[in-house]
């Protein structure tokens, strides 16, 4: 083993065929403002019963998106939700959310096949957004006063909704591949302890 970095090997042995794990399935990345996500959610809010007919197998809906039964439940505590919404306001890195574009109509009826259009990853973040927009979560303003969404003026609302939240999409009818992708995406927002913070 060498301690000197080399971008590529000088002499690559032809018989050496090491392959690292492959990305499955392929992804498509879009950098959309939160406003696009909210527009999708608003359509769901008009007629949630229609979504339940289309996705009868969904464990729940988050921001109008069906969540598969094999995804974990809503786990974030109040502190984690608040930190995520504060990150939106402060322009921090929001990570991304991942959906599956694949869908297949079940024969006869409005229902789509299981795992169609599901939210694969990002459930905790999107649920935090949903709670905040429904006034179920108060976030401190610049003076430290907890504020709910309905208290804000349109200028601040537009600033929030214009924040980019990366949308990653896959397209697969293979539940095993989707479950593997879900497991690879597992992450959370964990607060640093006081002694680990850069600003105290």
> Residue 81: which residues within 8 A CB-CB, separation 6 or more?
124, 127, 128, 131, 132, 137
**Residue 10 covered by a domain:** no
**Alpha carbon of residue 68 to chain centroid:** 14
**Residue 200 covered by a domain:** no
**Residue 22 covered by a domain:** no
Number of domains composing the chain: 1
Whole-structure pTM value: 0.83
Q: Are 138 and 9 in contact (CB under 8 A)?
A: no
**Residue 14 covered by a domain:** no
What does each of the 200 residues of the chain score in pLDDT, given as a tens digit?
667 887 887 777 666 677 777 766 888 999 999 999 999 999 999 999 999 999 999 999 999 999 999 999 999 999 999 999 999 999 988 999 999 987 777 666 788 999 999 999 999 999 999 999 999 999 999 999 999 999 999 999 999 999 999 999 999 888 988 988 888 876 444 444 555 443 44
**Residue 49 covered by a domain:** yes
**Residue 47 covered by a domain:** yes
**Residue 9 covered by a domain:** no
**Alpha carbon of residue 112 to chain centroid:** 22
Domain holding 173, by residue range, is: 28-187
């Amino acid at each position: 083993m060498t301690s000197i970095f080399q971008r590529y090997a000088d002499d690559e042995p032809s018989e050496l065929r090491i392959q690292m794990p492959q990305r499955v399935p392929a992804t498509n990345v879009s950098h959309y403002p939160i406003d696009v996500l909210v527009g999708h959610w608003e359509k769901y809010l008009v007629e949630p019963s229609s979504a339940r007919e289309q996705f009868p197998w969904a464990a729940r809906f988050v921001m109008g998106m069906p969540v598969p039964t094999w995804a974990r439940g809503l786990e974030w505590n109040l502190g984690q939700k608040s930190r995520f919404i504060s990150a939106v306001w402060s322009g921090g890195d929001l990570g991304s959310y991942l959906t599956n574009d694949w869908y297949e109509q079940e024969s006869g009826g409005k229902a789509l096949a299981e795992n169609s259009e599901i939210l694969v990853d990002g459930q905790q973040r999107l649920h935090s957004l949903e709670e905040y927009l429904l006034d179920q979560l108060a976030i401190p303003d610049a003076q430290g006063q907890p504020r709910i969404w309905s208290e804000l003026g349109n200028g601040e609302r537009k600033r929030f909704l214009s924040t980019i939240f990366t949308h990653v999409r896959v397209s697969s009818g293979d539940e095993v591949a989707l479950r593997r992708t879900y497991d690879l995406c597992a992450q959370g927002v964990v607060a640093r302890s006081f002694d680990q913070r850069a600003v105290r």
